[in-house]
Homo-oligomer: A and B are copies of this chain.
Amino acid sequence: MDDHQLIERAGGTLVGRVMTAIRQRIAARSLTPGAKLPSIRALAKTMLVSTSTVVEAYERLAAEGAIRSRPGSGFYVSSPLAPLSLAEIGPRLDREVDPLWVSRQALEAGEDIMKPGCGWLPASWMPEAALRRAFRTLARARDATLTDYGSPLGLAPLRQLLARRLGERGIEVPPDQIMLTESGTQAIDLLCRFLLEPGDAVLVDDPCYFNFHALLRAQRAKVAGVPYTPSGPDIDMFAQALAEHRPRLYITNSAIHNPTGATLSPVVAHRLLKLADQSGLIIVEDDIFADFEHTPAPRLAAFDGLDRVIHIGSFSKTLSASVRCGFIAASRGWIEGLTDLKLATAFGGGRLSAELVLMLLRDGSYRKHMEALRLRLSRAMIETSARLKALGIVPWIEPQAGMFLWCRLPGGIDAADIARRALADGAVLAPGNAFSLSQTARGFLRFNVAQSTDERLFAVLERALRQSQAPRDLARQSER
């Protein structure tokens, strides 16, 4: 008799009744994971059964794994699982390539680990001297700057400066339609919470920044992907997705698309906005890589005039990920409600970071830093591209700017397999399917060229490719 039969047979007995009662309470969440079960004596009294019946019921539930005993303390509902587990909602992915795999590996990795899979620049590429100067200046700031909450919209002079900078990119927006946030991620999160009801459909690019998947799962949104081409989303598929899913939102990067490095073409931008207009779609244009561009590409927010496009920026990628400062530019009608939501969920923060960013924008050090950074990235892009090609790893396109190279592996090799081998060998890679809702990017890796300057990386890649090919070669031999 196996366990299952045992449980079945117990169903009609007193023991079975007690087990059922407990299972129902767990299912109804009146007993939650980690909760202590009623004492044996108390439950026996309540259910009018003997204590030995309860003991047997508890022991069987423990054997099933539904509850666990803590010696000397009693029984508890086991597996205190996350009620909202981002790794478990949505398409079943191997934990090693789920949407947060790359982030966690890269953020948790020691400094001796290479991180060509991460989405930020090495500390040594950041404007260290300017940041140190800014901190010394902050040390002499007014006491309110050092200790008070920020204003609801955020530091006014910085919003004025941002309005001017956006204007130069063709996005006309008054400072009171800009709300500062603590990061680009917080900006997108606030917008999703503000605009979406649970169950609303959202379109993303396939592939797209993996954190969009995680963030939208947290939002309980239904996510649909549209294949991304070198000039933007596939417009026919986009129109089809609009008709099929009736999405509320589309989240994208217009320029220096993550992970592909592609840039939206004006013709696709125009068609996209026309479709959005017809179907009442709202577009979130996440533009955190804007300052990496050599020549500004078309922006949806510029074409649309912030009517149905919401524009997001941040300084995490260009200045410091430690100085948290992002922003939202949106239509006047939305800013008030977004500000209430920011206060409710994060209160008035970010004052120090805003002061710091303002200093570096004003004194010219940000501009100088970005000029040097763009050149350095261009060189790294060319070098990394050549080295990868030598290994048979071929860029999908040659991006105009930015830090990302989206590359196809040779001979149908699985990127997740390469990523696992490389991790054991000291490098965090970003396997393609972490970015792909349809899981159609298993043959791709995203490389950060600024994190790919270490010679050893290419030795690691070569070993991983060789090991990954070997078993299949063996398999092919045995087929003969």
Chain B residues within 8 Å of A248, by CB: 29, 32
CB of A415 to closest CB in B, whole Å = 21
**Chain B minimum-CB-distance residue to A120:** B149
Looking at A100, A131, A135, the one whose CB has the most chain B CB atoms below 10 A away is A135
A345 and B29 form a contact (CB under 8 A): no
Shortest beta-carbon distance from A98 to chain B in Å: 9
Given contacts A132-B146, A336-B82, contact A280 B346 (CB under 8 A): no
Question: Using a CB-CB cutoff of 8 Å, which residues 59-105 of chain A contact chain B?
Answer: 76, 79-87, 99-100, 103-104
**Max count, chain B CB within 10 A of own CB: residue among A145, A277, A308, A352:** A352
Whole-angstrom CA separation of A410 from B79 in the bound complex: 54
| Cβ-defined contact, B136 with A337, below 8 A | no
B146 touches A322 (CB 8 A): yes
| Contact (Cβ within 8 A) A193 B84 | yes
Answer yes or no: A215 CB below 8 A from chain B CBs: yes
> Cβ of A123 < 8 Å from any Cβ of B?
yes
Interface contact B128-A344, CB-CB below 8 Å: no
Which residues of A (98-138) have their CB < 8 Å from a CB of B? Answer: 99-100, 103-104, 107-108, 111, 120-121, 123-124, 126, 128, 131-133, 135-136, 138
Complex contacts, A189 vs chain B, CB 8 Å = 344-346
Interface size of A as a range: 35 or more
A263 within 8 A of B: no
Chain B residue with Cβ nearest A140: B132
Cβ contact within 8 Å between A104 and B218 = no
The answer to whether A34 and B308 touch across the interface, beta carbons within 8 angstroms, is yes
A348 within 8 A of B: yes
> A147-B322, A152-B104, A341-B84 are known contacts. Are A277 and B33 too (CB-CB below 8 A)?
no
Report how far A243 CA is from B277 CA in the complex, Å: 49
Mark contacts of A25-39 with chain B using CB atoms, 8 A cut-off: 1 yes-contact digit, 0 otherwise.
100011111111010
Contact between B107 and A211 (Cβ–Cβ < 8 Å)?
Answer: no
Q: Does any Cβ of B come within 8 Å of A52's Cβ?
A: no
Q: Known interface pairs A131-B147, A145-B322. Does A30 touch B279 (Cβ–Cβ under 8 Å)?
A: yes
Question: Which residues of B sit under 8 angstroms from A214, Cβ to Cβ?
Answer: 340, 343-344
Closest to A281 in B: B32
Given contacts A143-B124, A189-B345, contact A107 B322 (CB under 8 A): no
B346 engages A86 (CB within 8 Å): no
CA distance A246 to B28 in the complex (A): 10
- B111, B316, B333: the one contacting A34 at CB < 8 Å is B333
Pair A346/B183 contact, Cβ less than 8 Å: yes
In the complex where A183-B346, A307-B34, A347-B183 touch, is A100 in contact with B340 (Cβ < 8 A)?
yes
Among residues 138 to 175 in chain A, which have CB atoms less than 8 Å away from a CB atom of chain B?
A: 138-140, 142-152
The complex places the Cα of A198 from the Cα of B34 at a distance, in Å, of 22
A34 and B123 contact, Cβ closer than 8 Å, known pairs A135-B135, A185-B347, A280-B29? no
Distance, CA A131 to CA B143, complexed state (A)? 9
Q: How far apart are the CA atoms of A124 and B1 in the complex, in Å?
A: 75
A62 to B220, CA, bound (A): 35
A402 at the interface (CB under 8 A from B): no
Is the pair B186, A321 in contact by a Cβ cutoff of 8 Å? no
Query: Does A351 lie at the interface of the complex (its beta carbon under 8 Å from any beta carbon of B)?
Result: yes
| Extra pairs beyond A84-B337, A214-B340 (18, CB < 8 Å) | A34-B307, A35-B280, A81-B333, A85-B337, A100-B344, A103-B152, A104-B339, A111-B144, A120-B148, A123-B146, A123-B147, A124-B143, A126-B143, A132-B140, A147-B321, A198-B198, A324-B324, A324-B349
| A–B pairs, 7, beta carbons within 8 Å | A34-B334, A36-B308, A111-B144, A123-B142, A147-B319, A189-B344, A214-B343
